[in-house]
Amino acid sequence: MSKQRVKWVVGNWKMHGRLADNAALLQSVAEGAGAMADAVRIGVCVPTPYLAQVQSQLAGKPLAWGVQDISTYTHGAYTGDVAAEMAVEFGATLAIVGHSERRAYHAESSELVAAKARRALEAGLTPIVCIGETLDEREAGKTEAVVGGQLDAVLNLLSVQEAARIIVAYEPVWAIGTGRSATARQAQEVHAFLRARLMQKDAALASVALLYGGSVKPENAQELFAQADIDGGLIGGASLKSQDFLAICAAAKAASHAG
C-alpha cells in the first residue's frame, strides 16, 4: 500500500526566524530540494509575518509553503487572527491545524480544529491536522481512544471528498521537542490504527497522507519513513537547520524508493 503514496516532509518553524536567518535557510533548502522534488513533496510552515519573504524567495522553486494556524472565520473582529484567504494571497498552500502547542496553550478543542480544517479546505489550503496523545494518556493505554477521537472530530465534520484532501500528522505530545522520538514500531502501530480508521469512514481515504512528527532527526528519519503507513514527517526543530532538514528529505526519498 505504501508504494503508491508519495512521501512528504514539512517543516514547522514554530515561532522562530528573522529575515536574515530565513533568507539563508530558504536558499539552502531550496537548492537542496531540487534534486528530491521528483520523489518527495517538501514544504515549510512559517510564522505569518514571513509569508511575503517566503513567497518571493521560493517562487518557482519545488517547495510548498504555509502557515501554522488559521482562523475559523473569513474576516471580522477577531484581533490577532489570520484568515486562510490572507495566507492564500501570499501563495500558501498548506496550513497546520491543531498542533499540540495550540491545543495546550490556546485551549483548542478537537471540534475547533475540525472547523479550522474545513475552513482551510474551503480557502484552497491543504490542512495538516495534528493529533497525538500525552505521555499520561499513553501510559494509561488511551492512545487509540485519544487519537481516534481527535481524528473522528475532523471526519465527522468533513465530507469524504473533503477528507480525501487532508494530511494527518500523528505527533505524540511526549515526543515533540523532547529529543525522544517514538520508535518506528510505536509510530507504525498508531499509523496503522489511523489508516484503518480512515478506511472505516470510506475506502477512498486510504490514500490520505499520514505524517509522523516528534523529534525526527537525520538519524531516525529513514527507519520511521520506511514503515508501511508512514508517509513522511512533520519536522520542528530539525527544520531550522538546512543540513538536517535536507538529510531528512533525503531519507524520505530513500524510503520512497525502497518502498
Q: Confirm or reject binding of residue 34 to ligand PEP (CB under 6 A).
A: no
Window of 65-73, 150-158, 235-243, 248-256 that interacts with ligand PEP by CB under 6 A: 235-243
**3 state SS of 155:** helix
Window of 26-34, 48-56, 61-69, 210-218 that interacts with ligand PEP by CB under 6 A: 210-218
Query: How many residues touch ligand PEP (CB under 6 A)?
Result: 14
Active site positions, annotated: 99, 171
How far apart are CB 236 and ligand PEP at their closest, in Å? Answer: 2
Three state DSSP letters for 50-99: HHHHHHHHHCCCCCEEEECCCCCCCCCCCCCCCCHHHHHHCCCCEEEECC
How far apart are CB 60 and ligand PEP at their closest, in Å? Answer: 27
Residue 49 to residue 136: CA distance in whole angstroms: 35
Backbone angles phi, psi at 165, to 5 degrees: -100, 5
Give the helix/strand (H/E) hosting 24.
helix 19-33
Contact track, ligand PEP, 152-191, x by CB under 6 A: -------------------x----xx--------------
Binds ligand PEP by CB under 6 A, chosen from 17, 43, 98, 214:
214
Burial tier of 159 (Cβ tally within 10 Å: 0-12, 13-18, 19+): exposed
| Of residues 45 and 54, the one with the C-beta less far from ligand PEP | 45
Residue 150 to residue 168: CA distance in whole angstroms: 11
How far apart are CB 207 and ligand PEP at their closest, in Å? Answer: 23
CA angle 121–31–176, rounded 5-degree value = 55
Q: Confirm or reject binding of residue 12 to ligand PEP (CB under 6 A).
A: yes
| Of residues 76 and 223, the one with the C-beta less far from ligand PEP | 223
